[in-house]
Amino acid sequence: MEFPSLKSWFEGAEHYPFIIAGPCSAESEEQVLAIAAFLKSTGNVNIFRAGVWKPRTRPGTFNGVGVKALKWLQRVQSEYNLRVTVEVASPKHIEACLKHGVDVLWLGARTVSNPFSVEEISEALRGIDIPVLIKNPLNPDIDLWQGAVERIHAAGIKRIAAVHRGFSPFERTLYRNMPKWEIPIELRQRIQNLPLICDPSHISGRADLVPGISQKALDLTMDGLMIEVHSHPSEALSDSAQQLNFDQFSSLMATLIIRQPTIDDKGFLNQLEELRNQIDSIDFQLIELVASRMNISKNMGEYKFKNNVAVLQIERWLEILRTRTDHGTLLNMEPAFIERLMTLLHQESIRIQTTILDNLKTSGDNWSEE
Ligand code: PEP
Ligand code: MN
């Protein structure tokens, strides 16, 4: 599969890193135009983004203003000379966007999670020459992401970029969506030359975390960033915590360290560096998982105190050891290694529970003295 580089997408797309910015949702004509005026003035932005139909996880939240916002985006094009992109989730959305001259379409995470929708959309796109951005699916399923790229490509679309926006965690984590950097890195290995853009806003979920994720994406030589920017983030009708205000966007642009990809590496890291990045990403996830395990240990400590149960229960420990070494063996790991690893985790868990018990006992004594 051949994919043209972002630079060649249209005239004026040379600016590196390729920046797509704008509000999560188009809310009013004034809001859209004020944000576009600001973004144009920075000189950093390749494409203006705004959600018109919003896919919401829970009902009863802002669904977007719909077709009428497409007219506002036409003013962004004519008055600020910016290209515009909109999320599409159905052939009807595509038809409306094409009628209003939207320059670039994007498929959201929820849409990419459903191969039926991607198939329907690729049929609607057949024979049309428009760039398409494809976000990763909600779950960390690289085949689903790759499949969406292949389906859209097979419909004849050549200007495609993948957008990494992180993966829904079950546990609460620092980030709204887990970056799992090893997945976009692998996608780039599987589909060479596919432009890759990071969406630090949806990964972070919090404006203050956006710069760190943006820098990380550039360090991994991703080609661009899709960033949510709002004139008054606290009043935004969707994703208010993660949108940058104008000052935050300007300071991000000023502080990003940009490693211009050389012609030699074409923006790709060497194999060893790619593997190190995958290991780094997995290590951070390991630490987050261990932290969730320790939190549960803490809750168990409290429960054991209330119910007067001993901290160490030997049958439970033997069962843990047996089931974990069996599972490790299935994955071709040495039983002795799994045993050492589990012992280490177990010791820390016992330490935490013992501390909790001691603290609760002390505070109980204090209380009874009163
Ligand atoms: C968005 O970009 O506002 C959006 C809804 O993104 P995602 O599909 O990544 O959740
Ligand atoms: Mn959003």
Q: For residue 370, what pLDDT is reported?
A: 35
Mean pLDDT on 286-305: 92
Is 276 or 249 the better-scoring residue by pLDDT? 249
Give the mean pLDDT of the chain: 93
| Ligand index nearest the alpha carbon of residue 230 | 2
Backbone angles phi, psi at 140, to 5 degrees: -75, 65
Mean pLDDT on 322-326: 97
Domain with CATH 1.20.59.10 in the chain: 273-363
Domain with CATH 3.20.20.70 in the chain: 6-269
Q: Is the pLDDT of residue 263 over 60?
A: no
Q: Given the DSSP bridges, would you call strands 196-198 and 132-135 parallel, antiparallel or unpaired? A: unpaired
Q: At what angle do helices 68-80 and 29-42 cross, to 10 degrees?
A: 30
Give the model confidence (pLDDT) of 99-143 as tens digits.
Answer: 999 999 999 999 999 999 999 999 999 999 999 999 999 999 999
Does the C-beta of 23 come closer than 6 Å to ligand 1?
Answer: no
Is domain 273-363 given the CATH code 3.40.50.300 in the classification? no
Percent of the chain with pLDDT over 70: 95
Distance (angstroms) between ligand 2 centre and the Cα of 234 equals: 14
As a whole number of angstroms, the longest Cα–Cα distance in the chain is 81
Q: For residue 362, what pLDDT is reported?
A: 82
Site of tokens 């997995």: 282
| 3, 25, 75, 115 from 30: Cα distances, Å | 37, 13, 11, 37
Is 14 or 249 the better-scoring residue by pLDDT? 249
Q: For residue 259, what pLDDT is reported?
A: 75
CATH class given for the domain over 6-269: alpha beta
Centre a 10 Å sphere on the Cβ of residue 346 and count the other Cβ atoms it contains: 17
Distance (angstroms) between ligand 1 centre and the Cα of 139 equals: 14
Atom number in ligand 1 closest to CA 163: 9
Residue 235, Cβ density class (10 Å: 0-12 exposed, 13-18 middle, ≥19 buried): exposed
308 conformational bin, left if phi > 0, alpha if psi -120 to 50, beta if neither: left
Distance (angstroms) between ligand 1 centre and the Cα of 37 equals: 23
216 conformational bin, left if phi > 0, alpha if psi -120 to 50, beta if neither: alpha
Mutate to test the pocket of ligand 1, among 199, 213, 225 (most ligand atoms within 8 A of CB): 199
